[in-house]
Amino acid sequence: MTDTGRVIALIPARAGSERVKQKNTRPFAGFDGGLLELKLNQLARVPEVSEIIVSTNDPVVLDYATQFARDHDRRVSPIERPDELGASSTPISAFIRYAATLRETGVMMMTHVTHPFLTAAVFADLIAAWRAAEARGHDSLVTVTTLHKFIWDENGPYNYDNTVEKWPRSQDIKPLFEINHAAYLMPFARMRAVDDRIGTNPYLHDMPERLVMDIDWEDQFHLLEDIALARKARGISLL
């Protein structure tokens, strides 16, 4: 594999979440190190990943990632993020610009601890999908959820024509694609060229809702923890 083909996972994990306190490291579904421990264990089982960067301005996250690298997987590289790039008011575009400089070459695979159901097998499939998309000329991959739903704006139906059929079958509605933030794959060099984590010819990789459920609010933390525990009780691995 060429150096530009190396896949480097990037986990942003800033300090000071306002909606879900200590969301990165508070215990979750039997993982004492929380969502961070779960995500590191998922990625540690993906041989296609050559490095796992944890970008953080949280001392607890930094210490945990350092210990994980020492005890479990030396591919983990904790990188202390400048505080000005870790505030809740920091524009995501500023962090993306910074992330693009973390490695000169290779393919970034950005993912978040708040998606607990992305197993090692899912990440392996994502990497394979990226390689196929790159071969077809795409410059990036972004995960999406395809919506066949009745979407309205202030002017009425947005994605279907109710003058033709007031209530078309949902499968006949023109789909919309919601970026679900489960993963972004893009060469670091291309990120710098377009100043973004999505290129000019992205591949929209559809993923089912059961895999991309994420945690953005406190009640979602508890709901997804309940789902995770139920899956474990049924013998379904989170890893």
Q: What is the pLDDT of residues 154-164, one digit of tens each?
A: 999 999 999 99
Q: What is the SS3 assignment for 183?
A: strand
Total number of domains in the chain: 1
> Residue 2: its pLDDT value, please?
46
How many angstroms from the chain centroid is the CA of residue 38? Answer: 13
On whether residue 149 sits in a domain, the answer given is no
Checking 69-76 for CB contacts under 8 A at 24+ apart, the result is 72/40, 72/41, 72/44, 73/40, 73/44, 75/44, 75/49, 75/50, 75/51, 76/40, 76/44, 76/52
> Residue 90: its pLDDT value, please?
87
Domain that holds residue 72: 3-143+179-233
> Residue 107: its pLDDT value, please?
98
On whether residue 131 sits in a domain, the answer given is yes
> Residue 3: its pLDDT value, please?
54
On whether residue 29 sits in a domain, the answer given is yes
Q: Rounded to whole angstroms, how far apart are CA atoms 129 and 184?
A: 12
> Residue 1: its pLDDT value, please?
44
On whether residue 171 sits in a domain, the answer given is no
Q: Rounded to whole angstroms, how far apart are CA atoms 155 and 41?
A: 47
Its pTM surpasses 0.85 = yes
On whether residue 138 sits in a domain, the answer given is yes
Q: Which residues pair with 55 in a beta bridge?
A: 12, 79
On whether residue 102 sits in a domain, the answer given is yes
Predicted confidence (pLDDT) per residue in 120-159, tens digit: 999 999 999 999 999 999 999 999 999 999 999 999 999 9
142 within 8 A of 202, measured Cβ to Cβ: yes
What letter represents residue 62's amino acid?
Answer: L
**Which residue numbers in the chain have pLDDT < 70?**
1-4
On whether residue 221 sits in a domain, the answer given is yes
> Residue 4: its pLDDT value, please?
59
On whether residue 23 sits in a domain, the answer given is yes
Cα–Cα nearest to 48, from 110, 134, 135, 120: 120
DSSP letter, residue 85: G
- The CATH number of residue 125's host domain is 3.90.550.10
